[in-house]
Amino acid sequence: MLYMEISTWEPENRDKILEHFKELKMPAGVTVHNQWVDLTGSRYFILYECDDAEAFAAFNLPWSDVCYIDTVPVMKSTEFISLMSKKS
């Protein structure tokens, strides 16, 4: 499944966030498609694929002490339209 995540953090956690990024290792089962950082310095966006709950947890739990993570399952709009067309 494809996920879009938006992570936000308090300004006082900036240095902790930078340390987390330096140590970041993607667990097996997580494929990152792209990542972006908000130039204001307090948000991070990532689009990744993961079909394993254990890998999902291994990727997200280490960040839970320094930021808030909003995870949204997504799909390409063309795929969504095709899927919905088959249901009609």
Confidence of residue 15 (pLDDT cuts 50, 70, 90): very high
* pTM: predicted TM-score of the whole model, two decimal places: 0.85
Question: Residue 66 has which token pair?
Answer: 């320094």
Number of Cβ within 10 Å of residue 10's Cβ equals 12
What is the pLDDT, as a whole number, of residue 34? 97
Q: Which of 16-20, 31-35, 41-45 has the highest mean pLDDT?
A: 31-35
Q: What is the C-alpha to C-alpha distance for residues 63 and 61, in angstroms, rounded to an integer?
A: 5
Domains, in order of start, for the chain: 2-87 (3.30.70.920)
Average pLDDT over residues 7-23: 92
- Whether pLDDT at 42 is above 70: yes
- Length of the chain equals 88
Q: Which one has a higher pLDDT value, 87 or 56? A: 56
Phi first, then psi, for residue 66 (nearest 5°) are -125, -10
User: Which pLDDT belongs to residue 88?
Assistant: 65
User: Which residues 6+ apart lie within 8 Å of 29 measured at CB?
Assistant: 50, 51, 52, 54, 55, 56
Kindly indicate the confidence band of residue 33, based on its pLDDT and cuts at 50, 70 and 90.
Answer: very high
